[in-house]
Amino acid sequence: MMPQRQAGRRVLVTGAASGIGAAISRQYLQEGAALVLIDVNAQALAAHAESLAEIGGQVVWAVANVADYRACEAALAQVRAKLDGDIDILINNAGISPKTNGKPANFWEMDPDEWQRVVGVNLHGAFNWARLLTPAMVRNRFGSIVNMSSVAGKAHLTFTAAHYGTTKAALIGLTRDLAGELGPHGITVNAIAPGRINTPLMRTASPETNLAVIQETALRRLGEPQEVAEMSCFLTSPESRFVTGQVVDVAGGWMMT
Ligand SMILES: NC(=O)c1ccc[n+]([C@@H]2O[C@H](COP(=O)([O-])OP(=O)(O)OC[C@H]3O[C@@H](n4cnc5c(N)ncnc54)[C@H](O)[C@@H]3O)[C@@H](O)[C@H]2O)c1
């Protein structure tokens, strides 16, 4: 049995139905947390929640588009009624990186609706959930937030479009601002910058792109969702209680800065 570092904690994970979010939610459950899963894909979310049943522990879930504040508020009311306390850990993980035939849009051809959609999910989604959950964290003088940024938020990548890098850089700004403002209330806020992680999102890029990244990665491989999940759990565990406002690369030594 894993060490129960998250016992007694209630954790909300967005984009929980797939890839990194699915691994993060599984890890928190295995470490003893009660789990709230949020995703826009109802079918995948139900399947993931069912797959967690073998672990035991409390899992509640609600379908919501993180970009829609009112929908998130309604989802929170729905799950909150089933929990016996406030949510004290938030993992802002939901994110999208639209591509056509494995390629990102050129900026000069970008559909303005696509720009709005990416900003809505990747950035406003993080604002929405932080805005909804921080009042209780401040009241309780306890909480932790992890924002899922990306190496694309720190450097220009040729295979992601401008909206993606812009939102991932903005999440780093949000992380620092919230860390500064919420620190005096006993709340830590950090970001993870994953490199190339083996998930459905990564597979929207061409195989050649992913092979090229492996060649540029010091450890010469892709990362696994589990490796990001373990960092997320560390950043909200007692072992990291003096760590806040930081961006931690989980990237195998790719794009080291
Ligand atoms: N995979 C990588 O290589 C990589 C690298 C750097 C950063 N990231 C970031 O990690 C996070 C997770 O990525 P992943 O690779 O696991 O992707 P994924 O596509 O496998 O999973 C993303 C999940 O988010 C959900 N989602 C999408 N839009 C949503 C919305 N509007 N509301 C609620 N849920 C929504 C999807 O349904 C899906 O379940 C993203 O923020 C991504 O930008 C991934």
Mean pLDDT throughout 194-221? 94
Pick the CATH number of 10-249 from 3.30.420.40, 3.40.50.720, 3.90.1150.10, 3.40.50.150: 3.40.50.720
Residue of 12, 13, 18, 160 with the most ligand 1 atoms within 8 Å of its CB, for mutation: 18
pTM of the model: 0.98
Neighbouring C-alpha atoms within 13 Å toward the C-beta of 58:
19
Given this model, what pLDDT does residue 205 score?
Answer: 86
184 Cα to the center of ligand 1, angstroms: 31
Q: What percent of the chain has pLDDT over 70?
A: 100
* Residue 219, pLDDT score: 98
- Complete edge-to-edge strand list for the sheet that includes strand 143-148: 59-63, 34-39, 10-14, 89-92, 143-148, 187-194, 247-250
pLDDT mean over 24-49: 98
Residue 172: predicted pLDDT: 98
Confidence of residue 1 (pLDDT cuts 50, 70, 90): confident
| Domains of the chain, residue spans | 10-249
Written in H, E and C, the secondary structure of the chain is CCCCCCCCCEEEEECCCCHHHHHHHHHHHHCCCEEEEEECCHHHHHHHHHHCHHHCCCEEEEECCCCCHHHHHHHHHHHHCCCCCCCCEEEECCCCCCCECCECCCHHHCCHHHHHHHHHHHHHHHHHHHHHHHHHHHHHCCEEEEEECCHHHCCCCCCCCHHHHHHHHHHHHHHHHHHHHHHHHCEEEEEEEECCECCCCHHHCCHHHHHHHHHHCCCCCCECHHHHHHHHHHHCCHHHCCCCCCEEEECCCCCCC
What mean pLDDT do residues 169-198 have? 98
Q: What is the pLDDT of residues 60-102, one digit of tens each?
A: 999 999 999 999 999 999 999 999 999 999 999 999 999 988 8
Between CA 87 and CA 89 the distance in angstroms is 6
* pLDDT value at residue 166: 98
Pocket test for ligand 1, best of 38, 201, 206 (most atoms within 8 A of CB): 201
Q: Give the integer Cα–Cα distance in Å for 31 and 168.
A: 28
Q: Is the CB of 247 under 6 A from ligand 1?
A: no
Distance between Cα 19 and ligand 1 center (Å):
7
Pocket test for ligand 1, best of 76, 157, 199, 210 (most atoms within 8 A of CB): 199
Q: Is 228 in the pocket of ligand 1 (CB under 6 A)?
A: no
**42-51 per-position pLDDT tens digit:** 999 999 999 9
Atom 22 of ligand 1, residue of closest alpha carbon: 15
Residues marked as catalytic = 164
Q: How far is the CA of 134 from the centre of ligand 1 (A)?
A: 22
- Average pLDDT of 164-186? 98
pLDDT at 218: 98
Q: Which of 175, 181, 127, 166 is nearest to 147 (CA)?
A: 175
Q: pLDDT for 132-160, tens place per residue?
A: 999 999 999 999 999 999 999 999 999 99
> Binning pLDDT at 50, 70 and 90, where does residue 204 land?
confident
Helix axes 19-30 and 225-235, enclosed angle (nearest 10): 50
Left, alpha or beta for 198 (phi > 0: left; psi -120 to 50: alpha)? Answer: beta
Q: Whose CA is nearest to atom 31 of ligand 1?
A: 65
